[in-house]
Amino acid sequence: MATVPQSNASVPPFVQTESSPPPPARLLRLPEVIARVGLKRSAIYQRMSEGRFPRSRSLGPKCAVWVESEIDDWINGIALK
């Protein structure tokens, strides 16, 4: 009769432990940002230039993205005011 090696049963494999790296930041394209915040493209870029909206990151000449956590923080900040 063969024995099966015991795994660490106290920590399920999907639970993040202290030594696990944080999950990578999720990046949002403009259509998803528009859908989440309810602003049009021009309003988003106007607020960005005024420093009242999270800045986009450029991934290339025609690819702008926003960090999801920054958009969520902005939404939550607006909701608290």
Q: Name the residue range of residue 63's domain.
A: 27-80
Count how many domains the chain has: 1
Q: Is residue 10 part of a domain?
A: no
Q: Is residue 59 part of a domain?
A: yes
pLDDT at 28 over 80: yes
| Average pLDDT of the chain to the nearest whole number | 85
Question: Within 10 A of 70 (CB to CB), how many other CB atoms are there?
Answer: 16
Q: Is residue 35 part of a domain?
A: yes
Per DSSP (E only), the strands in the chain are: 27-28, 57-60, 63-67
Q: Is residue 61 part of a domain?
A: yes
CATH number at residue 44: 1.10.238
Average pLDDT rounded to a whole number, residues 27-38 = 97
Length of the chain: 81
**What does the angle CA 51 – CA 76 – CA 29 come to, to the nearest 5 degrees?**
65
Q: Is residue 76 part of a domain?
A: yes
pLDDT at 17 over 70: no
> pTM of the entire structure?
0.69
26-48 burial code (b ≥16 CB/10 A, e <16)? eebeeeebeeebeeeeeebeeee
